[in-house]
Amino acid sequence: MTYDVYWELDNIDPGPQASGAQLGMDPPTGTVTIIQDYCNNNPYNVDGTCTGGDVFQTLMVTSPPCTTNPTMDPTDCQANLAFNPFLDSAGVKTIIELGASSSFDSLTGTIANTPEPATWLLGFGGLLTIRLLRTRKV
């Protein structure tokens, strides 16, 4: 049995960009495959094709080889992906394929955002201010 789930990754603030993604499942039984396709800065069409052409990057986790006890060895049941280049937005297609008598309890997906340049400036500015105030007191 196959399930297709389409969703949009949109950063509301134009500053941060998505730098990567993580996908995992817990705990699988039987044959389970979960795939996420990312369509860079474009949504998916109704027919399931990427508006901008080719799929940008793909993330996949599958059982087997994923263990049936992810608490003991969670790295087997998750996959990581670094976006190159970073994404402002993306259409995401999640495909879940279940074999006969297969199941899983949960699906986790995480998108990592890069900090805005102003965040770094504020942090370094604060450290510089603390340094300047400390030197004046001595």
Cβ–Cβ < 8 Å for 108, 23 = yes
pTM: 0.69
pLDDT (tens digit, 9 = 90+) per residue, 48-81? 888 876 677 887 887 776 655 545 555 567 888 8
CA pair distance 44, 38, nearest whole angstrom: 9
pLDDT per residue as tens, the chain (138 positions): 898 888 888 765 666 778 888 888 877 788 888 888 888 878 888 888 888 766 778 878 877 766 555 455 555 678 888 887 788 888 888 888 998 888 888 888 777 776 666 666 677 777 788 878 877 655
Cβ–Cβ < 8 Å for 83, 9 = no
CA distances from residue 4 to 7, 8, 35, 69, 124 in whole angstroms, order as listed: 10, 14, 10, 26, 45
Which residue, 30, 57, 61, 25, is CA-closest to 41? Answer: 57
